[in-house]
Structure 1
Amino acid sequence: MKIKGSVALVTGANRGLGAAFARALLAGGAAKVYAAARNPASITQPGVVPVPLDVTKPDQVAALARDLKDVTLLVNNAGIFEAGPLLAPNAEQALLRQIETNAVGPLRLVQALAPVLAANGGGAVVNMLSVLSWLTIANVSGTYSASKAAAWALSNALRQELKGQGTALLSVHAGFIDTDMASGVQMPKTSPDEVARRAFQALEAGESEVLVDDITRNVRAGFGATPAVYLGAGA
């Protein structure tokens, strides 16, 4: 999959990583970039085509798939994060909201746009995941990690199903990214532009998964440790 000449749809494109994906696509020579957000008026990136989209609204997803018949690249970036312990009274609702946005939303987009991608020669899907697909932070990321773990599993299954129509799927795992979502985190962060650059570099290289930073690579390598890194301290 080449960025140059592609027609891309980026969800959650009004700020942070989504805006960085849009910038990287334009810099890479994409023929057109649809930038989707709940409020398209919030999209200020020159050169993109703003479109309205709430990934939790099936009718909006269907309308987008009906209207954007030239898409060859889908970047599933939209996501939410709600911190808190799993034993909190509101944890169930927080989990449902995040699964709806972070896991069901990308699935919904792939289902709707798969025929469009197939008609345009196959193309590709980029699913933005997280190191927290594999790891939890006690009392903080339980519900978010569950939603991203579900998104990872769905991505792995979709990759196999899409192969038959010639559509590639790239999973992008990253640790802390220097965006509003991680503004309160006092740890090393990767710039959103660097995440976008590495993601599209991996896509053009034909990779199925890219681990953007050291923390993600270390956690992935720790799957074979004893105890496994995902079991947590003192396991």
Structure 2
Amino acid sequence: MLVLQNMKGDGPAYLAQWLAREGIAMDLRMALAGDALPADLSGHAALAVLGGEMSANDPLPELRATERLIALGFETGVPVIGHCLGGQLMARALGARVVASPLPEIGWQAIQMLPGAEREAWFGPEPTQHVMHWHNEAFELPAGAVCLGTNAACAVQAFAYGPHLGMQFHIEVNDEKLGRWSASRDPAYLRAQQSHPDTVHTGDVIRAGTVAFLQAQQRLADRVYARWWSARR
């Protein structure tokens, strides 16, 4: 199973834990650190694309190579799952735009799950989920995709496209990753806390949300990853 990591501090975390628990071998590649990406997806049963602080629209050859592999997944039926930037690259590969999010989201945010069989197959029957976000841009809904969740800050929080799932949030986080993220002193993050206090949370608020919501999100991740993995041919 192929996992594409876009930046050093944004590894597979809980996804790696889930794969290890299920006995699934992980082929982890980070092109921006010099790892060669495969020419195709032969030999890989599924593809996961992680997040990153860059824009999906940045003219980086590594991002375009990732889009090419995503498009191959769509063409060949290899199930693709995208987390935040990964979901944005999926949307681009389907011809949708990635634009500035109406509001930035950093922290634990509630999303309203939309009715329908696709949403229940991926996320279960609960009408609301609290999930971890860190994004300033967002994808528009690709043609042929089904929107699965929404909130006031970001109209399309997740979409399904056949056996593929793009998410605007981070179901792969674990305690270690959240500890690092919540301790960030990045100036842009600190400014965003002041300009958007409702949707950009402080480190203390993120840590409190981790206590309240992480366990439930990891059970949700178990469901999502099992659904994604089960779609392989």
Q: Which has the higher strand share?
A: 2
TM beyond 0.5:
no
Q: Give the TM-score of the pair, scaled to structure 2.
A: 0.45
Higher helix residue share: 1
TM-score of the superposed pair, with normalisation by structure 1: 0.44
**Structure possessing the higher radius of gyration over alpha carbons:** 1
